[in-house]
Structure 1
Amino acid sequence: MLENTESLLSDTILSDVMYTSAIEISCGYGKPKFMSTPQTNRSTSGLCHHENSELIQSLITRINDLTEQCNTLADQVSNLSALSLQNIKSTNTMETQTMLDINESNINIRMTHHMGTQTEPEYTNQPIRIIKESVLSVDNHTQTETYTVSTNYSKTLPMQKINNSKQERHVQPRHARDDPKETLIIGSSILQRIRTRGLMKNTAVKTIRGANTSHIRHELENMDLKDFKTFFIQVGGNDASNKRDPELVECEFVNMIDIIRKTTRNARIILAECPPRRDANVKIVNHIIGKVAESYDVECLQTVQSFIRQNGHLNSEQIWRDGIHLTDRGTATLLRLYDTLVKVTKEKSDTTSLNLFKSKQLSRWCLFFLWRRGTQLSILPP
């Protein structure tokens, strides 16, 4: 549009200039190279001068009109430029919004697909109960937990963390092809004095000091249980000392059974009663163990009477001075109870003379003295 305006203005000025030059030449003001008629008439000259003034005035008017037209065209061009920039910005904004809408649609589609693929399994049976309470953990911190129990489903929950690294002693079950483990003994620090060298080769022990039923359930969830055929679960004393809700403890025992049965088929599960202790009454926990064992068709091993004297007091030879843990003799008593159901200890012939001497609490000085005397050491009777 600007080029057309310049061309129009240039043509107009050029035509006016040529017209003016022709008048000047005809009136005697120009100097044409080919002039055949001389200028001798003064009236003719005055007339030419008057016509020239009118021509100049008309040119000025024409120039003003052209200037106004140019200004109008310039304003239109400016308006068109501003409108074009606005359209460009609007187009960019619309494109950006379109891209955002497309991205949002893709995200919604992915989220819908993700939510659609992660569907929880349906269970036909309704939960038996839902329990929510404040639970006192091992490190004396309070934590709120919600548990759901069903006959074919257990809801796993965040486990209470045992902060003290020295509290936990793991004896990892080995799953070597030449030495598979078939029996697992898992529980709290009641098992801490068990020596694996006195056990059958197919028996593994896992001791978690300070553990309650929640910790044992969590440990079973994270273990490889497929090779085991028999499970001894020895836990509950810490639940009694921390006064955890009986229904909550029952839920955890049910969850343990459910975890084992989902992992292994035809596994033999044995829930062992808690040995008596001075800091807590274990009757409620042991009643729960017997109830769960009867309801879910597992075995219950009764242990209380083996650690109590005839007068009703704890056997100090089997219970440690703290009134909680077992001595070596108490541990041997517990293992003999296990043997009544599944053989877990070696035969007496497999026990070395050194271990028997340690059980009789012979001092190193006595052994050294007998060795210096050349006395033949023999196996003492039990």
Structure 2
Amino acid sequence: MQTSPPEVHSKNVERCIQSTPDVKNISKSHSGKKRVKVTGMDHNIRKFIEIIITTFLVIGSSLLKSINTKDLNNTSVSTNRGARIVDIINIVKDKDIRQYESIIVHIGGNDISNGATLNLIQENYESLLYLLRSKADMNTNIIVSSVPPRKDVDVEPVNKILIDLCDYYNIYNI
């Protein structure tokens, strides 16, 4: 006869994680989230407990440099000074992105400031979005931020292009 597991509160989970448990059997649940079976815990807590691990990649230009990663668990931030869309394409080509549940991209401002044409920006964004969608796990959430306002150039035409491309590739635009 099986009994239902006790309710697990976040403080218990934190305490268990800090006790350096033996991690086994990384798998994916039906929702696509990574799950880990943890053993070797305090006897008052269930022998096996599932912990959902969410992994994020935040990638883009130097506007990301002020992100404080200290409290961002399971988050990788790739800040690339002066990066243009094509630079992020080259980074993504060489990176295994299947491990990430969510990927947040912030890029485009340097392309606009450096005088890239709307056609070139659109082609490069399309290449980047296609690459992300094709290399990432099918359950990965891909989020692309709009280019924030700039003093030196109007970003609205680029953001309109980005919205259309994100719709086409089923990518979130924020």
Query: How far off its partner does 1:257 sit?
Result: 2.1
CA distance in 2, matches of 1:296, 1:250: 13
Given that 1:241 and 1:281 are in contact with CA atoms closer than 8 Å, whether structure 2 keeps it comes out as no
Contact preservation (8 Å) 1:184, 1:231: yes
Contact 1:181 1:227 in 2 (8 A): no
CA distance in 1, matches of 2:140, 2:125: 16
In structure 1, the residue matched to 2:58 is: 185
Whole-Å Cα distance in 2 between the matches of residues 258 and 296 of structure 1? 7
State the AA in 2 paired with 1:210. G
The 3-state SS of whatever aligns with 1:198 is: coil
Match of 1:205, SS state, is: strand
**What does residue 247 of structure 1 align with?**
119
Let me know the Cα RMSD of the aligned residues. 1.9
Deviations 1:42-85 (A, max 9, x none): xxxxxxxxxxxxxxxxxxxxxxxxxxxxxxxxxxxxxxxxxxxx
The CA distance in 1 between the partners of 2:96 and 2:54, in whole Å, is: 11
Q: Write the mapping of 1:156-235 to structure 2, written as runs, cut at 5 A.
A: 182-199=55-72, 201-235=73-107
1:290 lines up with 2:133 in the alignment: no
Larger strand share, 1 or 2 = 2
Which has more helix, going by share of residues?
A: 1
Match of 1:236 in 2: 108
Q: CA deviation at 1:198?
A: 3.0
Contact 1:182 1:228 in 2 (8 A): yes
Contact 1:270 1:300 in 2 (8 A): yes
Aligned residues: 123
Counterparts in 2 of 1:221 and 1:234: CA distance versus 1, 3 Å: same
Length-normalised TM-score, structure 1: 0.31
Would you say the 8 A contact 1:231–1:268 is kept in 2? yes
Asked if the contact 1:260–1:267 (Cα under 8 Å) also holds between the matched residues in 2, the reply is no
For residues 175-222 of structure 1, what are the alpha-carbon distances to aligned partners after superposition, in whole Å with 9 as ceiling and x for unaligned? xx99x76211101011111111032x1211100010011111111111
- Report if aligned partners of 1:229, 1:267 keep a CA contact under 8 Å in 2: yes
Q: Which amino acid aligns with 1:207?
A: T
Instruction: Tell me the residue number matched to 1:276.
Output: 149
Runs of 4+ in 1 over 6 A off after TM superposition: none
User: After superposition, where does 1:343-358 map in structure 2 within 5 Å?
Assistant: none
Shift of 1:248: 1.6
Q: Which runs of 5+ in 2 are unaligned?
A: 1-35, 39-52
**Do the aligned partners of 1:270 and 1:299 also contact (CA within 8 Å) in 2?**
yes
TM-score normalized with structure 2 length: 0.65
Q: Distance in 1 between matches of 2:169 and 2:124?
A: 13
